[in-house]
Amino acid sequence: MTGLSYRTTDPATGEVLETFATATDAEIEAALTGAHAAYATWRDVPMAERAAIVRRAGELFGERKDELAAIARSEMGKLPAQGVEEAEFCQAIFEYFATEGPSLAADQPIKTFEGGTAVVQRRPIGVLLGIMPWNFPYYQIARFAAPNLMLGNTVLLKHAESVPRSALAVERLLRDAGVPEGAYTNVFATHEQIETIIADPRVQGVSLTGSERAGSVVAALAGKNLKKCVLELGGSDPMVVLDTDDLDAVVGDAWDFRVFNAGQTCNANKRMIVHADLYDDFVARITERAAAMEPGSYAPLSSRRAAEDLDAQVRDAVSKGATLHAGGVLGEAPTAFYSPAVLTGVTRDMRAYHEELFGPVAVVYKAESDDEALSLANDTQYGLGGSVFARDEARATAMAQRLEVGMANVNSIAGEGAEIPFGGVKRSGFGRELGPLGMDEFVNKRLFYVAD
C-alpha cells in the first residue's frame, strides 16, 4: 500500500511543506528482516560498547538541538526555546541510560533454600515496535529507544504522520552515533502494516504513546499475538491547591506548566482544584495571565483539527453554563492558533469534565474541603499524574498518598527527570518509561540457577 499520508504541515500557516510516501510492504519486510538480523549481533555487543554509542547519541542531541528545534517548530508548532529544551532532555536521557544502564541491568542474586546459586538476569528479548506521538517528537523516542538499545533490543519506530522530518532526523542522528544498520529503523508504516508488524513472530513487544482509541487497538493486537506492550494514553491530571504563602508563585507555576508546549502535554495540570478560601484570587490572577497572552506570544496547536476539537470542547462547556474568563479564540483557518484560556463552572454534564483538554485551557474547580478536593481529583477515568500543594507538607502528603495516579507529587506539579519513572493507571495506560523501571519492561527476567 502506498500513499502520501506522512506530511509536514506548518500549523502556524497551514502550508504543506513536504510529503513522504508510506512504506511499501516490501520495505516493511526489509525493515523486519534487518531488525531481526541486527538483534542477533547487537545483543552480543558488550554493554560497555553499547553504552558508548548511546552516550554519543546523547551528545548529538545536544550538538544538533537548534536544528532539531527548527524541525519541530515547522512540523508541530513548538516554540524554538522549548524545542531546544526537549533536545537537551533527550541528551540527559541517553546519558542517564548509558551511565546507569549497566548497573540497572546487572544480575540480581536471589536467596535460595535449596542450595546452589540463583540470579535473575535481565536479557534483551528482540525486535520492538515503538509507535510515537507528535507532541514531543524527540523526547517520546528517547525514553523508549535509549534503555532498549542499552539492553540489546532493536527498534522499529513508527512516528506520527505529522512529524516525518523529526522521525528521519532521529534515525539519522542514531546512525551517526554508531547504532548499527537495522538496530534502529524508522518506518513510514500504514495502519495495516502496523498490524502486520505486531503479528510478525520476529517482533517481541510494542510501546505506544497516544490516544485511548489507538491504545485499545494496539493492546488488542498485542494480546491477540501474545506480545508484551506498554501504553501511555494521556491524562487529565489534577493540581490541588489547599493553601499557600505565595499565591502568585503557585499561580505562575500552574499557568506556565498548563500552557507549556501549547498545552499539549500528557501530564499537564489540566484540572486545577483550589480550596474555596483561595479560589476567587486564584481565578483572578490566572485570568490576568491568560488575558496578557497577545497573538504572537503563544504557539499554535499541532494542527487545525486539534484547534477545532479543543474549541468544540470549550464551546460545549460554555453553552451549558461554564464561564470563559479569557482566551478561547480560535484563529482563522487554516492556521492552528487557539488563544490560551481559563474556564470555570465546569460540571459533569459537560465534555470538558470527562475528556482530556489537549491544549492551553486551564479549568479551575472550587473545593470547600480537603475531602471534596480529593473526590474531584479522583473523579476521572484517567490516572497519569497529580499534585497537591499546601503549607503543611504532612497535609499535602496525606492527600497525595490517596491520589489514584501513577505519579503523585507534593508541592511540585510534576517531578521530572531522566531518572524519574513516567506512566499511569486506569485509562492512562500501563507500564513505565524512564528511570530504573524504564529498563525493566522489555526484558527477559531470566532465572539462572547453578546447582552445588
Catalytic, out of 100, 171, 229, 266: 266
Strand (E) or helix (H) holding 450:
strand 444-450
Q: Clarify whether 114 is annotated catalytic.
A: no
Select from 188, 236, 184 the least CA-distant residue to 361: 236
**Contact at 8 Å (CB) between 321 and 31?**
no
Among 75, 100, 232, 356, the active-site one is 232
- SS3 (DSSP) at 254: helix
Active site residue 67: no
What backbone torsions phi and psi does residue 409 show, to the nearest 5 degrees?
Answer: -130, 145
Distance CA 397, CA 403 (A): 10
Report the half-sphere exposure of 38 (CA within 13 A, side-chain side). 22
Distances 175 to 60, 161, 263, 320, 360 between C-alpha atoms, Å = 11, 22, 32, 53, 36
Q: Where are the beta strands (DSSP E) in 175-277?
A: 184-186, 203-209, 228-232, 238-241, 271-275
Interior CA angle at 147 toward 446 and 109, to 5°?
Answer: 30
Q: Are 361 and 341 in contact (CB under 8 A)?
A: yes
Q: Which residues are catalytic?
A: 232, 266
